[in-house]
Amino acid sequence: MKIRNEKSIATIYDAVSILKGLDIINGSLKQNYYAESALFVPDRFINPLILRPKIDISDPSGSIPNGDKVGELSRLEWFENGVKINSNDDFKIEGANLTVFKNSEEPFEISYRPEWFDSRKKQVITIEDSVVVSCISLAQSDANVTMSLSKPQNWVHNPLKGERIYTINAYVSKDKVHESAVEWYYVDGNKKDKLIDNSCSFYVEGQYTNALKVDSAYMDNVIIKAKNISNDKLKEVYWFFDKHGNPLTYAMPDKTIIEGKDIFNLPESPITSKLDYRINGLTIEQLVKNGDFSDGKTGWSGVIGSATINNGIVSFTPEAQYVGITNSLGDKIIANHILYFKAMVKSSTKGAAIVMSDTTQTRLQRHSGSEEFELLSNTITISIILREVL
């Protein structure tokens, strides 16, 4: 019998190459503090700093796929100035991310200590890295924050060309450009700033966001302004929670999500950017006689006899298909001109529509049947003498 000596073969692996760092998912490592207004910019309670480890590992032997290993960490701890962080009012740990809500005039160090298991050598590798979160105290005059709108001053628009609904974006600049939620105003006939809301006929949506949508069909000359939102107003409009999930605003808010890439806290004195919106083109002439029903039923025909008029609103119940009230434009139009027509219509069915036609074509816009007033409008290029508008 032969005796065979067996020897174990040791496999020696080269050390892996580790590239470590911290990714800033949101916010900034730097803050400014304005003592006069006790204001942090950015305010991390509103726009928190979110950090995530960056750990790229390369294996020269090729036994382990190269790349980001954050998802493979067996342990991850965070520290503030060497003290272990647990989720509290200043910090929140969620997965591999650390969210920092803390505002501080004093700088502080954030470090992390992850552990990664090297399956080749059956050993745990501990990695450490850190960053400094800093703050600079500034006088109020050093704020130097500016606000601008996406449309130029004296913006000119022809409502008969292009789209009718337009978006005006607000931008706040401080070292970089932020798309910031703002309050939107217009200047009334008494030269007073009035908050834009649903009572404004030209308003579509976007109050307390970074993007205001307006309907040019309802706008003459008007000045639109944007102002920064105060912290108190932010709490009224948006719903903020503490780290335990309790609402910090106790009244039901208008919104629950901040709309705008950055909510940028500004000094207490509002910064205003103005936009003088003007209608361009030839003078627009009202061709429909008594279009607002201020003179009762004058100029109207069809089923107008059975209709009622109250405060400029005409109401009727059609008792057959394809009936309505009509108003003939007669010889007031010119071939090849573009006519724009609109009306506020309320209906309980989808069949209701505003219609304009000549002898060769018809343009209409239908109501959704929502039982609410809706703006119905369209344009028509006249080919021959126009017949009527319904």
Token pair of 327, please? 């108003």
CA atoms of 153 and 224, how far apart (whole Å): 10
170 located within any domain: yes
Last residue of one domain, picked from the residues 119, 141, 163: 141
SS3 content of the chain, % helix, strand, coil (to 5): 5, 45, 50
How many structural domains does the chain have?
3
Domain housing 186: 144-279
Residue 304 CA to its chain's centroid (Å):
44
Last residue of one domain, picked from the residues 122, 141, 160: 141
CA atoms of 280 and 341, how far apart (whole Å): 17
pTM of the model: 0.43
Higher confidence at residue 298 or residue 164?
298
296 located within any domain: no
Regarding whether 150 and 261 lie in a shared domain, the answer is yes
CATH of the domain at 130: 2.60.40.10
Taking a C-beta distance cutoff of 8 angstroms, is the pair 172, 146 a contact?
yes
Instruction: Respond yes or no on whether the N-terminal peptide bond of residue 42 is cis (omega within 30° of 0).
Output: yes
130 located within any domain: yes
Regarding whether 131 and 38 lie in a shared domain, the answer is yes
285 located within any domain: no
Regarding whether 275 and 152 lie in a shared domain, the answer is yes
Regarding whether 166 and 128 lie in a shared domain, the answer is no
Q: What is the pLDDT of residue 99?
A: 94
What are the pLDDT digits (tens) for 188-198?
Answer: 878 888 999 98
CATH of the domain at 221: 2.60.40
Regarding whether 127 and 21 lie in a shared domain, the answer is yes
Regarding whether 154 and 266 lie in a shared domain, the answer is yes
Regarding whether 206 and 220 lie in a shared domain, the answer is yes
User: At residue 147, does pLDDT exceed 80?
Assistant: no
Buried b vs exposed e over 292-320: b needs ≥16 C-beta within 10 Å? ebeeeeeebebbbeebebeeeeeebebee
| Amino acid symbol at 181 | A
User: At residue 65, does pLDDT exceed 80?
Assistant: yes
Regarding whether 166 and 274 lie in a shared domain, the answer is yes
Regarding whether 128 and 193 lie in a shared domain, the answer is no
Regarding whether 272 and 148 lie in a shared domain, the answer is yes
Proportion of the chain above pLDDT 70, given as a percent: 72
Last residue of one domain, picked from the residues 96, 126, 141: 141
Strongest mean pLDDT among 168-172, 173-177, 204-208, 253-257: 204-208
339 located within any domain: yes
CA angle, residues 336, 342, 348, in degrees to nearest 5: 135
User: At residue 51, does pLDDT exceed 90?
Assistant: yes
Dihedral sign computed on CA atoms, order 305, 311, 316, 321: positive
Regarding whether 132 and 54 lie in a shared domain, the answer is yes
What are the pLDDT digits (tens) for 80-115?
Answer: 999 999 998 899 999 999 999 999 999 999 999 999
Regarding whether 264 and 154 lie in a shared domain, the answer is yes
Q: What is the pLDDT of residue 265?
A: 52
Mean pLDDT across 369-389: 69
292 located within any domain: no
240 located within any domain: yes
Q: What is the pLDDT of residue 281?
A: 46
219 located within any domain: yes
